A and B are shown apart, each in its own frame.
Chain A
Amino acid sequence: MRRLVLTAGVLALSAFSAAADVAVRVTYLRHEQIRPPVLSNLDEVPADLGVAGAELAINDSRTTGKFLGHTYDLTLVSVPPEGDLIAAARTALGETRLVVLDMPGAEMLAVADLPEAAGALLFNATQADPALREQDCRANLLHTLPDQDMRADALMQFVAARRWTDLALIEGTHPGDQAWAQALRDSARKFGLKIGAEKTWAFDADMRRNASQEVPLFTQSLGKYDLLLVADELGDFARYIPFNTWLARPVAGSVSLVPVAWNRVMEQWGAVQMQDRFRALAARDMLPEDYASWAAIRALSEAATRTSSADPATLRAYILSDAFELAAFKGRPLSFRPWNGQLRQPIALVSGEAVVAQAPLEGFLHQRNELDTLGRDLPETRCEAFQ
């Protein structure tokens, strides 16, 4: 059982408080979580996941700000698993109106619905659940992490382009696994691909010992397929599937070929500079949650720079306008979907060693923005809070 490092409940990352024209003060509000166990501890969840991305963004923004007389401050409020998140959120919202949220989706909604959060600008940098952008959307909550639908569409564009039309699926038993599996099913249908056999991974043995014996048998009954999808959002069993399947077939989804918002293998479009800056700051590789919190604060900073304001309403209006463009090391300008507050972005398909492709792939066209071929588009949206 792994628990995130607990430090003081409130830790000020900086104490930069000069009198300035524009003072942008951001809180990173985190509810620490107890994570379920996984078979292998090869990839530890860093204690500063997300937080380090926010710190980098504040550093980047300060450099711009110093030429304009704008200041940027970041405060980390980290609530222990048993702590009172709502009380901490109330206090934080009393001090700053710009908040990055790192907590389960239900808690994000509870925070967004607090009376203190009215008129504040909140960012979801950690949750991929499409419902937060759709039926549960909130006008004061923007999303910088791509949701599962966007990631699934990125993968399926690639699969369709490769003409791997017959797919099989293994999903885990965790709710996150099931949600990811559903996103993959929906996306496969959208791109005209067929998921034939499906199985649920419900083993309780330690697969490091006997994957080579168990997985061939387990996958034998999947029949014929071009590509095996594996939905294992926790990183529990997926790593033992590739090369152990009954048929010699590629694997994708949560292992082998994975759609991600960010990964260490991304180096095009100036990404090397960002990776270097992040490693110098955090002494580890940048992960998707770090990228999402970085993008949230950089979006605020870009809006503050262009509007010379730190007012949440002014920033929100600019961020959701056509004028907004975020340069974010993915080769094209990023912007927010005005109908649900989701950050549009290319999604990389990475193996452990390289970027295999970046979606949207060539040929997937859209009348407005090719980035809107990823995830739920305007005509299908169920979000009404942004109207």
Chain B
Amino acid sequence: MKLLLPLLLLPCAAMAEEIWVTNEKDNTISVIDVATLSVTRTIETGERPRGITFSHDYSRVYICASDSDTVQVMDPETGQILHNLPSGEDPEQFVLHPDDRHLYIANENDAITTVVDTETRTVIAQIDVGIEPEGMAVSPDGQMVITTSETTNMAHWIDTETRQIIANTLVDARPRHAEFAAHGAELWVSAEIGGTVSVFDTGSKAEKAKIGFAIKGVHPDRIQPVGFEFTDDEQTAFVALGPSNHVAVVNAQTYEVEEYILVGRRVWHMAFNSDKSLLFTTNGVSGDVTVIDVASRKPLKTIKVGRFPWGAALRP
């Protein structure tokens, strides 16, 4: 496998671009330098770090430290923990509202979505959702937040004004991740055990498509969609397929799978670099990150990180 390093070095501006990866079973973050595709720093976190996201100006990074029952706020320059946010028990995944202020947190063990004000550092609401909430998404206009619950097999639609659930839609077994697409007109939800991605019309909340997957030589039961991301034009989705060790490339207009890319073992979440030319996937079981060249849809490199890498986020 050839490296395309000379090309990759070009967009490197004043600050080096980085991908931050949480290592669930090492209590660390591996910081990958996008220019060199190597780990440049390993930062200690609380216990069982999973969800990770940056504030809009990238001055803070929020980390779900699940077994520490807190969301940690870190200075990405120094790696110092600035403070902890109250998060409810066992925060697994979260989404930062477009207002850059409110975090919506899935509390996996408590069947609750917690809303935290990151400025006053207080819990302002807790919403009862299904068992084992995990997937979190927010609509581009900020009006709707989605929580998916793994054992209840639902997407819960939460109005951010009233902080009430306004609708519940059933999906296939064990939903894991949700994202709004088509400028907010669609909601995509992956179902790990069901082996599908459901596409909902956000207006009617009706299911408009269901995407299935098939990889030659891999039993259907092992094809388990989890994390996914869209290209900037929202024409293409990359869907991590867990223990099948592949990422699917899905046409977001026709909902057809165009290609499967072989990556590391039990691929989970992913993040793009800033021009979305590269995609970084976390491979939980093999403990590494696969770098995919988005244009050619080929894996470029595997980068060893910590044990059970889970979340990934870009720091431009």
Binding site for B on A (CB under 8 A): 60, 63-64, 67-68, 270, 273, 276-277, 302, 305-306, 325-327, 331-333, 369-370
Complex contact B132–A273 (CB within 8 A): yes
B121 to chain A: closest CB distance in Å? 27
Shortest Cβ distance from A331 into B: residue: B243
Query: B102: which A residues are within 8 A, CB to CB?
Result: none
Query: A302: which B residues are within 8 A, CB to CB?
Result: 153, 173
Query: B304: which A residues are within 8 A, CB to CB?
Result: none
A332-B222 contact, Cβ under 8 Å, with A67-B168, A68-B168, A273-B109: yes
Query: B192: which A residues are within 8 A, CB to CB?
Result: 327
Complex contact A273–B153 (CB within 8 A): no
Shortest Cβ distance from A306 into B: residue: B170
Q: Which 9 A-B pairs rank lowest in CB-CB distance, beginning with the nearest?
A: A327-B173, A327-B193, A332-B221, A67-B168, A327-B174, A64-B152, A333-B193, A63-B131, A325-B173
Give the total number of A-B pairs whose CB atoms are below 8 A apart: 63
Complex contact B243–A327 (CB within 8 A): no
Query: Is B288 among interface residues, defined by CB-CB distance under 8 A?
Result: no
Cα(A67)–Cα(B130), bound, Å: 8
Cα(A331)–Cα(B284), bound, Å: 14
B126 to chain A: closest CB distance in Å? 15
Cα(A64)–Cα(B170), bound, Å: 10
Query: Is B85 among interface residues, defined by CB-CB distance under 8 A?
Result: no
Shortest Cβ distance from A273 into B: residue: B132
Query: Is B277 among interface residues, defined by CB-CB distance under 8 A?
Result: no
Complex contact A64–B153 (CB within 8 A): yes
Shortest Cβ distance from B111 into A: residue: A63
B116 to chain A: closest CB distance in Å? 22
B165 to chain A: closest CB distance in Å? 8
Cα(A345)–Cα(B1), bound, Å: 39
Shortest Cβ distance from B242 into A: residue: A331
Cα(A188)–Cα(B293), bound, Å: 49
Query: A63: which B residues are within 8 A, CB to CB?
Result: 111, 130-131, 149, 151-152
Query: Is B179 among interface residues, defined by CB-CB distance under 8 A?
Result: no
Query: B170: which A residues are within 8 A, CB to CB?
Result: 305-306
Shortest Cβ distance from B222 into A: residue: A332
Cα(A360)–Cα(B19), bound, Å: 37
Query: B152: which A residues are within 8 A, CB to CB?
Result: 60, 63-64, 67
Complex contact A332–B132 (CB within 8 A): no
A64-B221 contact, Cβ under 8 Å, with A273-B109, A325-B173: no
Interface residues of B in 153-184 (CB under 8 A from A): 153-154, 156, 165, 168, 170, 172-174
Query: B109: which A residues are within 8 A, CB to CB?
Result: 273, 276-277
Query: Is B219 among interface residues, defined by CB-CB distance under 8 A?
Result: yes
A67-B156 contact, Cβ under 8 Å, with A270-B132, A276-B109, A327-B174: yes
Query: Is B186 among interface residues, defined by CB-CB distance under 8 A?
Result: no
Shortest Cβ distance from B173 into A: residue: A327
Cα(A63)–Cα(B151), bound, Å: 9
Complex contact B222–A64 (CB within 8 A): no
Query: A370: which B residues are within 8 A, CB to CB?
Result: 219, 221
A288 to chain B: closest CB distance in Å? 20
Cα(A303)–Cα(B82), bound, Å: 48
Query: Is B17 among interface residues, defined by CB-CB distance under 8 A?
Result: no
Complex contact A325–B219 (CB within 8 A): no
Cα(A168)–Cα(B195), bound, Å: 42
Query: Is B69 among interface residues, defined by CB-CB distance under 8 A?
Result: no
Shortest Cβ distance from B194 into A: residue: A325
Q: Which of B149, B173, B222 has the most CB of A within 10 A?
A: B173
